[in-house]
């Protein structure tokens, strides 16, 4: 990496990737972007980014970040046809990957990067586009300490904190465990909200009480508007949640850990996907719980604070 401000490449302009790349642009970095669907890059181009047609075109950048949906997508953009690491003459100094992928795929890409003399850092995040916009996203990072030290200033632009957790794949298991917890809490929150409503308490009143209690959390607060008013514009889909629960179960099996609640939650989320909910937010789990309880939900149409005041 140069002694001046590094040039940045970005792979993956989905909901999350676009928001994170935007924060780098707003911080003054020169950013070039690749996305499989070219039209999704346009909002970043409008902010000053440069669009490219293949990941390999980013090989001349100092740092390249990626944020893709699954392990096979990461493999494709890194070592597949036209992948970032396929230029025989050029490679970035560093790669940071913010995807939620398996430990095995992360290790494989780390090795491929090392073979080209590229420092690789796993940089998965906690949050969604609304959390990013509020400046409350957090990052877990793992890889060689010197790579973390080089990329930490860029990672700090993404939100409110970065935690270095180890020199290899530790950030992957941190994120997988995080998303396992996300699924379990979401299912539990749906169940207890329906329990309260079945006994005559409005969802708005129950969640207001919960959010003001010691059991409330940033998560319960920012999901409350969806649960009360049934607005399921996607922040994270059941398809992605099922993928991450599967990653958690696989990681547990590899070390003999037992995750019984995760297994049940995974099957409930899989039912949601099997019923055709692949595009809405995973908060639709409340509809499934309600149907199983013989209840038909309607929006309560009341204002609900999501707790995400911008910073």
CATH of the domain at 260: 1.10.1040.10
pLDDT of residue 3: 56
Tokens linked to 309: 């005041």
- Residue 72 shares a structural domain with residue 219: no
Q: What is the pLDDT of residues 201-215, one digit of tens each?
A: 999 999 999 999 999
- Residue 117 shares a structural domain with residue 233: no
- Residue 288 shares a structural domain with residue 183: yes
pLDDT of residue 2: 47
- Residue 183 shares a structural domain with residue 281: yes
How large is the average pLDDT for residues 250-259?
97
- Residue 179 shares a structural domain with residue 159: no
Domain termination residue (choose one: 145, 168, 191): 168
Q: What is the pLDDT of residues 85-127, one digit of tens each?
A: 999 999 999 999 999 999 999 999 999 999 999 999 999 999 9
For the chain, the first-to-last Cα distance in angstroms comes to 30
Q: Which residue range is the domain that position 32 belongs to?
A: 8-168
Under the banding of pLDDT at 50, 70 and 90, the label for residue 130 is confident
With pLDDT > 90 as the criterion, what percentage of the chain qualifies?
A: 93
How large is the average pLDDT for residues 253-267?
97
- Is 133 part of any domain? yes
- Residue 50 shares a structural domain with residue 199: no
How large is the average pLDDT for residues 74-90?
98
Under the banding of pLDDT at 50, 70 and 90, the label for residue 226 is very high
- Is 130 part of any domain? yes
């Amino acid at each position: 990496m140069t002694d001046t401000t590094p040039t940045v490449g970005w792979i993956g302009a989905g909901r999350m990737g676009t928001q994170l790349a935007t924060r780098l642009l707003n911080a003054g970095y020169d950013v070039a972007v690749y996305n499989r669907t070219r039209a999704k890059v346009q909002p970043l181009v409008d902010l000053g980014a440069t669009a490219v047609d293949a990941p390999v075109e980013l090989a001349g950048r100092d740092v390249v970040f990626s944020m893709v949906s699954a392990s096979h997508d990461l493999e494709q953009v890194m070592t597949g046809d036209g992948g970032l690491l396929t230029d025989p003459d050029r490679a970035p100094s560093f790669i940071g990957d913010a995807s939620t992928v398996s430990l095995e795929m992360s290790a494989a890409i780390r090795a491929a990067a090392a073979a080209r003399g590229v420092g690789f850092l796993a940089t998965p995040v906690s949050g969604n586009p609304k959390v990013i916009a509020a400046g409350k996203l957090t990052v877990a990072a793992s890889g060689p300490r010197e790579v973390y030290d080089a990329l930490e200033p860029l990672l700090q632009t993404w939100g409110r904190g970065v935690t270095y957790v180890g020199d290899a794949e530790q950030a992957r298991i941190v994120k997988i465990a995080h998303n396992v917890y996300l699924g379990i809490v979401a299912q539990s929150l749906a169940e207890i909200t329906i329990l309260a409503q079945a006994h005559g308490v409005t969802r708005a009143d129950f969640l207001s009480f919960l959010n003001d209690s010691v059991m409330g959390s940033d998560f319960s607060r920012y999901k409350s508007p969806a649960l009360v008013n049934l607005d399921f514009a996607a922040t994270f889909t059941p398809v992605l949640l099922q993928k991450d629960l599967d990653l958690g179960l696989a990681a547990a099996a590899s070390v003999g850990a037992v995750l019984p609640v995760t297994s049940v939650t995974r099957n409930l989320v899989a039912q949601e996907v099997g019923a055709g909910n692949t595009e809405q937010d995973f908060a639709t789990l409340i509809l499934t719980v309600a149907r199983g309880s013989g209840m038909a939900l309607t929006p309560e149409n009341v204002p609900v604070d999501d707790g995400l005041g911008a910073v």
